[in-house]
């Protein structure tokens, strides 16, 4: 291993090459660039033990080397150190080799003899990628690692998903800033709930004022948002404050912002730029300090490219962005939400909370819920109201097509229409069936034992005992 060059604060780049003349050239250029410290290695067989020390920000690696070649090493490096940017260096200046390296995961490709400018650009890019992936890692650790500062701000959102926990952490980070927040997510994922959590976490003393802008023509938008002066138009017998006035010192939540007319987009842009507005019929400037939170389930890339939404307004609105995962991307929430809303629905009609048959639980977890939580709430509430037996089954959820066939009949009993000989040529033992069911439940619940136990209709402890039974058998 050679000496270390330049300042100790700089990131460390490792150069692997069996040609020591080439090292001198590299060292000189990298050293004078002041971008990084340089270490060199000439034996490719030592590379993996060197990387195991996790000291390097980037790796420049020769492709053609005796014994262990670049093509032997690259797949291993990508698997073991996926965030380490690797640049391949070789004397073979053919495109197909370059394409091969990039396909195997190299971020760039340099040909020898070295072009100093090209080398510096490549080094700068590699260091930038390394910095970004390290920031990304730190952010991920932060978002998942530390507990929420004020979990009470999120109490009304039912979830056990890590993705939602990470979103809550992000909300705690951005909420105190006064800049706009843009919330995206499919219909029914809970954008309004998240907007109100942003307001709570912001600590703003004013009110949370929601406005759904879909279907508001420009005049209605102006009147609702900005208010009017008495006599502003025929029928305006009293002056009206407007929602932006009500949101003073608080948060204005603009839902379905993708549906805003062009004319209203201009008005909103002015409000965001100047924090000023006029009431209809008045030439007195009003000041606003309301924090704007907007939401949409529309495809903004498409709206922008079709010219249906102003780019300048979009960029102002999405100073901070929050993206809510769909329910099918956090299936672990499904049964939790079902049981919460079944409890609420039962209480609202004075019934006791019904149980869920095992195959219904399978079906619910298997279903995609295109309407997300809203669809789940509606389906569960309807099922609880119409059910009379106290056991919810597939029959109580009409029109829901499971992706996979569910074993069993609609009464919650296994058997019925199911042709067992198609699956088991020989009659299976109960133990075998149990093992298959437990494996399937663990698969569907991504290994979460609590949820798997719920799916199986047994306690977590029973599941644990049965699994231990298999292991010791
Ligand atoms: N995690 C959750 N916990 C409890 N209730 C939820 C959750 N997510 C959504 N809901 C409920 O689901 C319903 C739909 O949520 P919301 O209106 O916030 O959806 P949305 O994303 O704004 O939908 P749209 O894009 O159609 O306006 C509401 O009744 C909301 O309270």
List domains and CATH numbers for the chain: 12-140 (3.40.50.2300), 157-325 (3.40.50.300), 327-405 (1.10.8.60), 419-473 (1.10.10.60)
Is any atom of ligand 1 closer than 6 Å to the C-beta of 187? yes
Q: Say whether pLDDT at 92 is over 60.
A: yes
List b or e across 302-330, with b for residues whose CB sees 16 or more CB atoms inside 10 angstroms. Answer: ebeeeebbbeebbebbbebebebbbbeeb
Pocket test for ligand 1, best of 158, 186, 192 (most atoms within 8 A of CB): 192
Mean pLDDT, residues 81-108 taken together: 83
Q: Say whether pLDDT at 290 is over 70.
A: yes
pLDDT reported for residue 418: 46
CB 161 within 8 Å of CB 330: yes
CB 220 within 8 Å of CB 265: no
pLDDT reported for residue 420: 53
Q: Which residues contact 404 (CB under 8 A, 6 or more apart)?
A: 366
Number of Cβ within a 10 Å radius of residue 128 = 12
Report the separation in Å between the CA atom of 239 and the middle of ligand 1, taken as the mean of its atom positions: 34
Is any atom of ligand 1 closer than 6 Å to the C-beta of 190? yes
Q: Report the alpha-carbon angle 222-227-232, nearest 5.
A: 90
Output the residue whose Cα is nearest ligand 1's atom 30.
190
Q: Say whether pLDDT at 170 is over 50.
A: yes
Select the highest-mean-pLDDT range: 11-15, 189-193, 330-334, 355-359. 189-193
* Least-confidence region, from 40-54, 197-211, 320-334: 40-54
pLDDT in tens, 8-49: 468 899 999 888 777 888 888 887 888 888 899 988 888 998
Write down the pTM of the prediction: 0.63
Q: Say whether pLDDT at 313 is over 80.
A: yes
Mean pLDDT, residues 427-443 taken together: 82
Going by pLDDT thresholds of 50, 70 and 90, the confidence category of residue 405 is low
Mean pLDDT, residues 302-327 taken together: 93
Q: Which residues contact 260 (CB under 8 A, 6 or more apart)?
A: 213, 216, 221, 254, 268, 309
Q: Which atom of ligand 1 is nearest to the CA of 376?
A: 12
Report the separation in Å between the CA atom of 191 and the middle of ligand 1, taken as the mean of its atom positions: 6
Dihedral sign from CA coordinates of 20, 22, 26, 28: positive
Report the separation in Å between the CA atom of 352 and the middle of ligand 1, taken as the mean of its atom positions: 25
Is any atom of ligand 1 closer than 6 Å to the C-beta of 158? yes
Distance, CA of 37 to CA of 25 (rounded, Å):
15
Q: Which atom of ligand 1 is nearest to the CA of 159?
A: 1
Going by pLDDT thresholds of 50, 70 and 90, the confidence category of residue 357 is confident
Select the highest-mean-pLDDT range: 68-72, 227-231, 256-260. 256-260
Provide the percentage of residues in the chain whose pLDDT is more than 70: 91
Q: Which atom of ligand 1 is nearest to the CA of 185?
A: 21
Dihedral sign from CA coordinates of 217, 222, 227, 231: negative
Provide the percentage of residues in the chain whose pLDDT is more than 90: 48
Is any atom of ligand 1 closer than 6 Å to the C-beta of 70? no
* Least-confidence region, from 66-70, 115-119, 319-323, 390-394: 66-70
pLDDT reported for residue 232: 76
* Least-confidence region, from 98-112, 129-143, 185-199, 417-431: 417-431
Report the separation in Å between the CA atom of 444 and the middle of ligand 1, taken as the mean of its atom positions: 24
Mean of the per-residue pLDDT values of the chain: 86
Q: Are strands 276-278 and 285-287 parallel, antiparallel or unpaired?
A: antiparallel
pLDDT reported for residue 259: 94
Output the residue whose Cα is nearest ligand 1's atom 5.
157
Token pair belonging to 289? 């300090």
Q: Which residue has the higher pLDDT, 468 or 308?
A: 308
Residue 293: helix, strand or coil by DSSP? strand
pLDDT reported for residue 410: 42
Report the separation in Å between the CA atom of 399 and the middle of ligand 1, taken as the mean of its atom positions: 21
Is any atom of ligand 1 closer than 6 Å to the C-beta of 298? no
pLDDT reported for residue 467: 86
Report the separation in Å between the CA atom of 188 and the middle of ligand 1, taken as the mean of its atom positions: 5
pLDDT reported for residue 324: 97
Is any atom of ligand 1 closer than 6 Å to the C-beta of 164? no
Q: Say whether pLDDT at 2 is over 80.
A: no
Going by pLDDT thresholds of 50, 70 and 90, the confidence category of residue 60 is very high
Token pair belonging to 34? 């002041």
């Amino acid at each position: 291993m050679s000496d270390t060059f330049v300042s100790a604060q700089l990131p460390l780049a490792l150069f692997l090459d069996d040609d020591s003349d080439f090292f001198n050239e590299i060292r000189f250029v990298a050293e004078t660039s002041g971008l990084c410290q340089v270490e060199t290695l000439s034996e490719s067989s030592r590379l993996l033990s060197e990387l195991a020390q996790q000291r390097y920000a980037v790796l420049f690696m020769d492709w053609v080397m005796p014994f262990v070649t670049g093509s032997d090493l690259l797949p291993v490096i990508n698997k073991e150190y996926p965030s380490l940017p690797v640049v391949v260096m070789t004397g073979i200046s053919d495109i197909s080799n370059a394409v091969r390296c990039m396909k195997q995961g190299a971020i760039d490709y340099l040909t020898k003899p070295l072009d100093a400018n090209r080398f510096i650009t490549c080094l700068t890019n590699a260091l930038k990628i390394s910095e970004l992936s390290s920031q990304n890692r730190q952010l991920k650790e932060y978002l998942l690692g530390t507990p929420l500062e004020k979990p009470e701000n999120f109490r009304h959102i039912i979830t056990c998903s890590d993705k939602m926990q990470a979103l809550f952490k992000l909300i705690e980070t951005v909420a105190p800033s006064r800049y706009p927040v843009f919330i995206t997510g499919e219909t029914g994922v809970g954008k309004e709930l998240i907007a109100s959590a942003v307001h709570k976490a912001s600590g703003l003393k004013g009110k949370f004022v929601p406005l759904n802008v879909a279907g508001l023509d420009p005049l209605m938008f102006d009147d609702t948002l900005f208010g009017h002066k008495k006599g502003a138009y025929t029928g305006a017998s009293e002056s009206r404050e407007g929602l932006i006035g009500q949101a003073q010192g608080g948060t204005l939540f603009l839902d379905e912002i993708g549906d805003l007319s062009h004319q209203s987009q201009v008005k909103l842009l002015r409000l965001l730029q100047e924090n000023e507005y006029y009431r209809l019929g008045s030439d007195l400037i009003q000041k606003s300090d309301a924090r704007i939170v907007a939401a949409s389930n529309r495809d903004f890339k498409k709206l922008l490219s079709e010219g249906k939404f102003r780019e300048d307004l979009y960029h102002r609105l999405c100073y901070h962005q929050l993206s809510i995962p769909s329910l099918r991307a956090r299936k672990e929430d499904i049964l939790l939400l079902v049981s919460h809303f079944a409890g609420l629905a039962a209480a609202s009609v004075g019934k006791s909370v019904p149980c869920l048959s095992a195959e219904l639980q399978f079906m619910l977890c298997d279903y995609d819920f295109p309407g997300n939580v809203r669809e789940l709430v509606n389906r569960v509430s309807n099922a609880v109201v119409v059910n009379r037996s106290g056991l919810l089954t597939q029959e109580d959820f009409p029109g829901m097509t499971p992706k996979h066939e569910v074993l069993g009949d609609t009464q919650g009993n296994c058997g019925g229409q199911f042709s067992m000989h198609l699956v088991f040529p020989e009659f299976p033992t109960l133990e075998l069936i149990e093992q298959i069911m437990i494996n399937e439940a663990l698969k569907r619940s991504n290994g979460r034992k609590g949820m798997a136990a719920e799916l199986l209709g047994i306690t977590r402890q029973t599941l644990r005992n049965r699994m231990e039974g298999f292991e010791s058998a």
